[in-house]
Chain A
Amino acid sequence: MTSSAAHLRDRVLAGDRRAVARAITVLERGGEDAVTLHAALHPHAGRALRLGVTGPPGAGKSTLVDRLARELHGDFPRIAVLAVDPSSPVTQGALLGDRIRMGALQELPGVFVRSMASRGVLGGLAPAALEVLDCLDAAGFDLLLVETVGVGQSELEVAFAADLTLLVSAPGAGDGIQALKAGLLEMADMVCVNKSDLGGAESVRNDLLAAFELSSNGPDGSPAIVLVSARTGEGVDELASLVTNLSGEQDFRIRFKERRGRAARRRIVSGLQLEAGREAGVILGNTPELVAAVVDGRMTPRDASHEVFRRILKGET
């Protein structure tokens, strides 16, 4: 590690705001610097509670994050919010507008808000989101709130990044069958129906309750459903106590051990996929006949994969 990297690490560990902001940029840029910095910060992570907030576009996630974080500020004095918005697949540009709804939150001491563009990654998060969460954790924040991009039914990555996942829904998002579909609903620890000050929130709750009754977990194993209005603040206190109760006050490290194991396994496997993918690229570059064999139909893609894997294991490129 270079001395400037060690210096950055020390400042992050000391909770220096500017250093944290710069470290996130380094992690987002990727490459060797990011790998080194993450390796230096990772041993110091693992203390913060990680709360994922997800839901369809326009459900009111940002406004709710603002309210909820303010409500939780008493129990968690240092809060970091990571808000992900989509990048354009055409230009790579992004308009990151989640902060517009978080004006009041940003006024509080000990609160750090960072916007991240999804930079082409599907699943609701950004490519470096997990590393950035480790960084914020190492910097001593007590609570990490991760807001995903507006998601559909199959963007579940946040459930693997967080200790607790809150699904935000709102009236007008479809009938009871939508709630029965597989995916997000199964991964949520808490569900809230936002915009309860508008009509229709009750009926969304009833649809959700009906869906949970039919699920094999049964109604007892199902997440709590809370009606809230992020606009007026109604119900947000109830949601906040739910978070505090579920996190078991401060023993969430033990409570979520199994879940963190699941998340760690996933990170190991996806790292392996990346590395193996890179190796495979090199091998295929050196053996065009393997690719040709698949194109000509002499070999199935699966057999070719096996051959590449065999070579990786043997260290042949």
Chain B
Amino acid sequence: MKNAFPPIRVLVAKPGLDGHDRGAKVVAAALRDAGMEVIYTGLRQTPEMIVRTALDEDVDAIGLSIHSGAHMVLFRKVMALLREEGMQDVLLTGGGIIPDDDAKALAKEGVGRLFGPGAPLAELVEYIREEVEARRTASQKKES
């Protein structure tokens, strides 16, 4: 039986060295409860590991949780690796302690919305669902 809209697959990862994984876990649980299939990889992932996982798992979206202040470097590196692999249609989003100006700069480079502390989980869930649906429709059109 064909599923009209198959479950959204999301990779939730924590790059870098900070060990604050509570946020990532809360987000992973919220996405799961919204009916998504969440691949959770745990702490201290390098951008290379993240992109390789995203590739193997054929995910629709990647959510990075970053509290270390290294968000500019890490988002840019992951974005570059995704391009290298031809995976531009994967949504790259995330959250953590990220100043608005930085988020704006990253958005210009193709990174999706970034969610700070206190952002309602429902908003994040809705954002990922809408973005992925739009991207899936676009890639189907491209194929046919």
Contacts and interface: CB of A to CB of B under 8 A. Distances in A.
Partners in one complex: yes
Interface of A: 4, 17-18, 21-22, 24-25, 28-32, 87-88, 91-97, 99-100, 103, 106, 112-115, 117, 119
Interface of B: 1-3, 6-7, 9, 28-29, 31-42, 49, 52-53, 55-58, 85-87, 143
Q: Which A-B residue pairs are the 4 nearest by beta carbons?
A: A31-B2, A93-B32, A100-B42, A21-B58
A18 B36 contact: no
B40 A18 contact: no
Contacts of A87: 37
A30 B33 contact: no
Contact of A100 (B33, B34, B37, B40): B40
A106 B53 contact: yes
Nearest to A116: B37
A91 B55 contact: no
Nearest to A26: B58
A18 B37 contact: no
B49 A106 contact: yes
Given A31-B2, A91-B32, A93-B31, A17 B39 contact: no
11 contacts: A17-B55, A18-B85, A22-B58, A25-B9, A29-B2, A93-B35, A93-B36, A93-B37, A97-B42, A99-B39, A103-B42
A117 B41 contact: no
B53 A24 contact: no
A24 B58 CA distance: 8
Given A17-B56, A93-B32, A99-B53, 15 more contacts: A18-B87, A21-B55, A22-B58, A24-B58, A25-B9, A28-B6, A87-B37, A92-B7, A93-B35, A96-B40, A106-B53, A113-B53, A113-B56, A115-B39, A119-B7
Given A29-B6, A95-B28, A117 B53 contact: no
Contacts of A88: 32-33, 35
Contacts of A97: 39-40, 42
A94 B33 CA distance: 8
Nearest to A96: B39
Nearest to B8: A93
B42 A117 contact: no
Given A32-B2, A106-B49, A95 B58 contact: no
Nearest to B29: A95
B143 A21 contact: no
Contacts of B33: 88, 91, 93
Contacts of B3: 29-31
A96 B58 CA distance: 13
A194 to B, nearest CB: 20
A114 B57 CA distance: 6
Contacts of B31: 93
Contacts of A17: 55-56
Given A29-B2, A29-B3, A88-B32, A93 B38 contact: yes
Contacts of B55: 17-18, 21
A233 to B, nearest CB: 20
A44 B55 CA distance: 23
A315 to B, nearest CB: 23
Given A18-B85, A94-B38, A115 B57 contact: yes
A87 B31 CA distance: 13
Nearest to A99: B41
A115 B53 CA distance: 10
B37 A117 contact: yes
